Amino acid sequence: MLSHPWVVYAITLLRVRIDRARNAPTRGASAVEWVIITAIIAGVALGLATLIRNLVEGKQSEISNQFGGGGGGGDGGGFEP
């Protein structure tokens, strides 16, 4: 059965593909490297965005506390002598 032409062809085709995969330059590795680098950059950007947001919210509450809770509105700016 292993001497059937289709089986011999399939085995030869698989051997050629395996040999190409083993001896081919690492084209797929560069794609993986780009994915890893992109993930690291995205993580750093997300961390910085969270840090900046927390700092801004902290300063906002600090300023709000210094002014006693913010503006209470006005009466329209009418002048009273």
One-letter identity of residue 49: A
pLDDT band at 75 (very low <50, low <70, confident <90, very high): low
Distance CA 45, CA 39 (A): 10
Residues 50-69, mean pLDDT to the nearest whole number? 89
- pLDDT tens string 6-42: 888 888 888 888 887 777 666 666 777 888 999 999 9
